[in-house]
Amino acid sequence: MTVFHFFNCAILTFGPHAVYYSATPLSEYDTLGTSVKAAVVYLATALVKLVCLATFLKVSESDSFDPYQEFLKALIGFIDVAGLYFALTQLTHRNISQNHKFQAVGLGWAFADSVLHRLAPLWVGARGLEFTWDYILQGLEANANLVLSISLAALGSLMWLRKNKPKTLIPIIYICAGIVATMPSITSYLKRGLGWHFPKVVGFELFTSLVMAFTSWQLFAACQRPSV
Partner 1 sequence: MAPRRAREREMLVDSLYSVIALVFVLVACVELCDAATVVDVYRLIQYDMSGTPFGSRLASLNHHAGSMQFSPHADLSRAVLMIPLRELNMTFIKEYIAQRKPLGGLLLLLPQLFSFENRDCTGSNNQNHGKDQLKNVLEELEQILIHTNLPYPVYFAFEDDDVNSVLTDIKKNDATGQPATATTGGYKFVVSAPEPKRVSSPTITNIQGWLAGTKTDDDASQVPTIAIVASYDTFGAAPALSVGSDSNGSGVVALLEIARLFSLLYSNPKTRGRYNLLFGLTSGGPYNYNGTQKWLRSFDQRLRESVDYAICLNSIGSWENELLIHVSKPPENAYIKQIFEGFSSVAEELGFKVSLKHKKINISNSRVAWEHEQFSRLRVTAATISGLSTAPQLLERTGGLVDSRHFVNETAITRTVKLIAEGLARHIYVAPFLPKDDPFVLALKKELEDHTDEVNLQREVLDGMFTFYDSTRAMLNIYQVASVTFDLLLLLVLGSYLIVLFSFLVITTRGLDDLISLFRRPPSRKVKTA
Q: Measuring CA to CA, how many Å separate 32 from each of 38, 50, 97?
A: 10, 27, 14
Residues 131-150 contacting partner 1, CB under 8 A: 131, 133, 136
Size of the residue set binding partner 1 (CB under 8 A): 25
**Alpha carbons 31 and 189: distance in angstroms, whole number:** 36
Indicate whether 15 belongs to the interface with partner 1 (CB under 8 A). Answer: yes
Indicate whether 108 belongs to the interface with partner 1 (CB under 8 A). Answer: no
The alpha carbon dihedral of 109, 123, 12, 199 has a sign of negative
Indicate whether 11 belongs to the interface with partner 1 (CB under 8 A). Answer: yes
Q: Measuring CA to CA, how many Å separate 214 from each of 117, 137, 151, 163, 176?
A: 26, 23, 9, 22, 11
> Could you say which of 51, 124, 161, 194 contacts partner 1 (CB under 8 A)?
124
In the complex, least distance from residue 173 CB atom to partner 1, rounded to whole angstroms = 22
> Could you say which of 47, 64, 120, 128 contacts partner 1 (CB under 8 A)?
128
> Could you say which of 54, 59, 129, 228 contacts partner 1 (CB under 8 A)?
129
The candidate with the shortest Cα–Cα distance to 157, out of 165, 168, 167, 146, is 165
Per-position x/- string for 22-61, each x denoting binding to partner 1 as judged by CB under 8 A, each - no binding: xxxx------------------------------------
Q: Which region among 19-27, 76-84, 170-178, 201-209 touches partner 1 (by CB under 8 A)?
A: 19-27
In the complex, least distance from residue 18 CB atom to partner 1, rounded to whole angstroms = 9
Indicate whether 203 belongs to the interface with partner 1 (CB under 8 A). Answer: no
Indicate whether 8 belongs to the interface with partner 1 (CB under 8 A). Answer: yes
Helix (H, G, I), strand (E, B) or coil at 129: coil
Burial class (CB in 10 A: 0-12, 13-18, 19+), 119: middle
Nearest to partner 1 of 1, 54 (CB atom): 1
Reduced DSSP (H G I as helix, E B as strand, rest coil) percent helix, strand, coil of the chain, to 5: 80, 0, 20
In the complex, least distance from residue 201 CB atom to partner 1, rounded to whole angstroms = 20
Q: Which region among 37-45, 70-78, 128-136, 158-166 touches partner 1 (by CB under 8 A)?
A: 128-136
Indicate whether 4 belongs to the interface with partner 1 (CB under 8 A). Answer: yes
Burial 168-177 (b: 16+ CB within 10 A, else e): ebeeebeebb
CB atoms < 10 A from the CB of 104, how many?
A: 27
**Where along the sequence are the contacts to partner 1 (CB under 8 A)?**
1, 3-5, 7-8, 11-12, 15-16, 19-20, 22-25, 124-125, 127-131, 133, 136
